[in-house]
Amino acid sequence: MNQALKIINQAKKEGRKALLETEAKTICAEYNIPVTKFNLAKSEKETATQADKIGYPIVLKIVSPDIIHKSDAGGVMVNLKNASEVVTGYRKIIENVTKYKSDAKVVGVLVQEMAPQSTEVIVGAVKDPQFGQTVMFGLGGIFVELLKDVNFRVAPLTADDAKEMITQLKAYPLLNGYRNTPPADIEALIGILCNTSRLVMDYPEIKELDLNPVMAYSNGVKTVDARIILE
């Protein structure tokens, strides 16, 4: 077992600082951080086979150590509804990425379940030079980028710390049920924050962690994208 240690050591050996989404999500899953079902495919045919296995709709994403922001490279295709759309999507992603960065090393294409739309939250961690591992929580999109409505706590977090990080957000009412949006599962959010804290405490060589976005449902949460950067 201990996938996290294996993956981190392998990346170090290869001199890679940014883990691939497959690697980051495997580590998250080991720490009970819920992630979308995913499988790496290396050909058009494999992509369609994996998609059939996971079930539609499907999301495809480029897996490349040279591409950190996948959508900037045209490397994300969402809501593919059948095998033929998946095959076209695979070709399109490879074409986009080649145009974006002709020498990008392509490991393959990540085939994953499409998480139903919901309130998007962001869970992050950064290693502060003074305070060490610090966990961050906020709502997605404009709440973080424009309003800077995020909360930080130095790890390790207790469940009470995590709860405060959530309930003290200005946008908390949006998580607590607003108009047509059912309340988010606060216990599951506390869980993801505590598990993230545990992960970065166990691996001090993690410099940055970014779960963005995480879908917050009324029953559970699901991490759609995960990035881990090593020192």
Interface with Mg ion (CB under 5 A): 212, 225
CB of 57 to ligand ADP, least distance (A): 8
Binding pattern for the stretch 63-102 against ligand ADP, x by CB under 6 A and - elsewhere: ------xxx----x-x------------------------
Q: Which two tokens stand for residue 161?
A: 């710390």
Give 61 or 153: the residue with its C-beta nearer to ligand ADP.
Answer: 61
Q: Does 40 bind ligand ADP (CB under 6 A)?
A: no
Whether residue 208 contacts residue 227, with contact meaning beta carbons closer than 8 Å, is answered with yes
Round to the nearest angstrom and report the end-to-end CA distance of the chain. Answer: 24
Give 142 or 159: the residue with its C-beta nearer to Mg ion.
Answer: 142
Q: Which two tokens stand for residue 48?
A: 């369609």
Letter string b/e over residues 146-180, b meaning 16 or more CB atoms within 10 A of that residue's CB: eeeebbebebebeeebbbbbbeebebeebbeeeee
Strand partners, 210: 124, 227
Residue span binding ligand ADP (CB under 6 A) among the ranges 8-16, 86-94, 109-117, 163-171? 109-117
CB of 170 to ligand ADP, least distance (A): 22
Which residues make up the interface to ligand ADP (CB under 6 A)? 36, 59, 61, 69-71, 76, 78, 112, 114-115, 213, 224-225
